[in-house]
Amino acid sequence: MKAISIGLLGLGTVGSGVVQIIKNHQDKLMHQVGCPVAVKKILVQDLYKTRMIEVEQEMLTSNPDDILLDEEIDVVIEVMGGVDDTKDYLITALRQGKHVVTANKDLMALHGSELLTVASEYGCDLFYEASVAGGIPILRGLVDGLASDRITQMMGIVNGTTNYILTKMSIEGRSYDEVLKEAQELGFAEADPTADVEGLDAARKMTILAVLGFSMHIDLEDVQVSGISKVTEEDINYGKQLGYTMKLIGYAHREGEKVEVSVAPTFLSNNHPLASVQNEYNAVYVYGEAVGETMFYGPGAGSLPTATSVVSDLVGVIKNLRIGVNGKSAVTPQYPKLLKGNNEKFSKYFLRLHVKDEVGVFAEITSIFARHGVSFEKILQLPVKKNEVSEIVLVTHRASLTDYDQILQELNELPTLKEIKSAYRVVRKSL
């Protein structure tokens, strides 16, 4: 019984987890796929560094061709990260007839359609479950579990770093800078946290989800993105007073044939299923026309949770190998890309304003909203002890993004407005 031979690109946190699972779960894998599974070669940058898992020295190589051009290697697992060189490696592997499993969200968000096309041309599988939400089988859930349904909405917490930061700010009342530093020390945040805290990591994942969920070719630049670096303790505390929890939310919505995809710090009503997702955990809330509401929840990162998704994809590849159907699972997008205009995007909004403490200021503000047909759901007005300034906190009823942007512009033109301190989207239990 021929063993399936694996070439592994990368031996960091996730790569080590993959080696550990394949080694420790060999009996389970044998039962699942009917043959042994063995890692033959591992690409690393430094052959002699100390590693978190012991592997035989002869398994290591710094030359990618030792894996990509080895005819005995059946499957290439990519967990090294990077985009341009990594794309070239995977295209080479596919053209050599090797199946590919990757956890690389950046690569799949930017070049996924090209790689899937190459995989289809060469009769190879390309699976990428671990690229979104770590150990949560969300992609498999969309492609297989909800294949017969029409997905209309997906929203989720798909970045563990930002969820950890916002959880600590909310529960412990600490500042963004303080919690970010702690997250870096604990390894939840990178030394350069920009991709996480400014929403780019989440945007890449939402791109992948939108392509699969809506069967439409969505590009990363189609996603409206804002991050959490300007969220303050004051914002979070006002949200609490109004019954909201702050989360960085990826949001994808289809209405008719048009879609919108965005990532933004969002106030969720406390009874929303995502409001209780804390620390580094991820969750994706999916609404289908037939199934209704479903939620996928679990660890969004980490060595073994992510490696579990990688090895699950590997099992899928090997099962396809056994029955000779590799390269037939990729489905090209069904619908042409149609994006909503700003006048077709609706939400409720939270606004925190500092204004001059004068008679008639609130009337000026309400008249601006009234001209655009936007009313208020909640209002707080509080004095600020310095500089004769009042603070007004507003939560609007649903408004189009066109009206909202125009309202912000007109507010900024008011001589009585000192500053728009913050502005966030608001989502209640019902999307």
3-class state of residue 338 by DSSP = coil
Q: What is the pLDDT of residues 295-332, one digit of tens each?
A: 999 887 677 888 999 999 999 999 998 888 887 776 67
Which residues, at least 6 apart from 358, have a Cβ–Cβ distance to it below 8 Å?
416
> With contact defined as beta carbons under 8 Å apart, do 177 and 319 qualify?
no
* Residue ranges for the chain with pLDDT beneath 70: 1, 301, 330-331, 385-386, 429-431
Q: Return the structure tokens found at 371.
A: 């001209």
Containing H/E element for 39? strand 37-43
Alpha carbon 212 to its chain centroid, in Å, reads 13
pLDDT for residue 431: 46
CA-nearest of 17, 13, 14, 10 to 41 is 10
> Which residue ranges form the domains of the chain, and what is each CATH number?
4-134+303-323 (3.40.50.720), 138-297 (3.30.360.10), 343-427 (3.30.70.260)
In one-letter notation, the amino acid at residue 323 is I
Q: Which pLDDT score, from 0 to 100, does residue 48 have? A: 86
Only one residue has tokens 């026309």, namely: 289
Show which residues are catalytic. Answer: 205
Q: Residue 129 carries which DSSP code? A: G
Burial of 324 (C-beta count, 10 Å sphere; 0-12/13-18/19+):
exposed
Classify 55 as helix, strand or coil.
coil
Cα dist. 204→195, 253, 352 in Å?
Answer: 10, 16, 29
Kindly write down the DSSP assignment for every residue of 93-122, as one continuous string: HHHTT-EEEE--HHHHHHHHHHHHHHHHHT
Dist. CA 181–CA 188, nearest whole Å: 10
Instruction: Tell me the C-alpha distance between 191 and 209, whole Å.
Output: 27
Q: Which two tokens stand for residue 376?
A: 């208020």
Q: Which amino acid is at 40?
A: K
Q: What is the DSSP secondary-structure string of 263-317?
A: EEEEEEETTSGGGG--TTEEEEEEEETTTEEEEEEEE-SSHHHHHHHHHHHHHHH
At 18 the pLDDT is 95
SS (H, E, C) 4-20: EEEEEECCCHHHHHHHH
Entry pTM: 0.89
Length of the chain: 431
Distance separating alpha carbons of residues 105 and 255, to the nearest angstrom: 26
> Residue 429's pLDDT is what?
67
Are 395 and 205 a contacting pair, CB within 8 Å? no
Q: Which burial class, exposed, middle or buried, applies to 354 when counting CB atoms under 10 A from its CB (0-12, 13-18, 19+)?
A: middle
Output the six-digit token pair for 86: 């990594």
Report the DSSP pairing between strands 389-396 and 376-384.
antiparallel
Q: Left, alpha or beta for 136 (phi > 0: left; psi -120 to 50: alpha)?
A: beta
Contacts of residue 141, Cβ cutoff 8 Å, sequence gap at least 6: 286, 294, 296
| Tokens standing for residue 149 | 């349904």
The tokens describing 393, both together, are 């906190």
Q: What is the pLDDT of residue 328?
A: 77
Of 105, 125, 87, which Cα lies nearest the Cα of 300?
A: 105
| The pLDDT of residue 393 | 95
